[in-house]
Amino acid sequence: MGNRLSKIYTKTGDQGQTGLADGRRVGKDHPRIEAIGELDMLNSQLGLLLAGLYDERPLSPGLGELIDVLAPCQHRLFDLGGELAMPAYQALQEHEVERLEAAIDRWNEELGPLQNFILPGGSSLIAQAHVCRAAARGAERRCQQLNASEELRPVAMAYVNRLSDLLFVAARLIARRQGIDEVLWKAADKPSTAVD
């Protein structure tokens, strides 16, 4: 990409608009900007998860594999943001979706079937993986909203969807490799039906 930031503030957005790479000016609440923003939030949350994994890696064997799988996702999310900022730009490829699917299948085989609903928690890493999963779902919703008015490439939609699935499985795998029990959902007690 040719353009690099030489100046951080331009004052051109002070009136609530921002520029796309093709020269168009759109509102900062435009669905395209909302989708880019949610991808950026997801990428930031993923960075926090990766930082935690790097910090924990010597203490919990097996977390290095998660880093190997998740670290490239930050770059692909940035690519996807680039595609949204420059609609003619196409960086994300189908093999990236397949890479996520292969990791999901491999990790699920280790984990076995899910027997209960689980809640975010157990350790800060597990909870952060769930924060990332929720952020991925939010990014997916914003991309779907944009897709309804300006069609996105199917690979972009598939990637964000698959990434949220990967992050759910990653949360479970972190729990297993840290030796921490997952927090299982407990239904509320049924109201008593005592008669006066």
| String of DSSP letters for 9-48 | --STTTTSEEE-TTS-EEETTSHHHHHHHHHHHHHHHHHH
Partner residues linked to 18 by β-bridges: 26
How many CB atoms are located within 10 Å of the residue 68 CB?
Answer: 10
The pLDDT, as a whole number, for residue 55 is 87
User: 2 phi and psi, to 5 degrees?
Assistant: -80, -35
Q: What is the CATH number of the domain that holds 96?
A: 1.20.1200.10
The pLDDT, as a whole number, for residue 1 is 47
Is 156 inside a domain boundary? yes
Query: Containing domain of residue 37, as a range?
Result: 27-182
How many structural domains is the chain composed of?
A: 1
Residue 154 has pLDDT above 70, yes or no: yes
Is 190 inside a domain boundary? no
pTM: 0.85
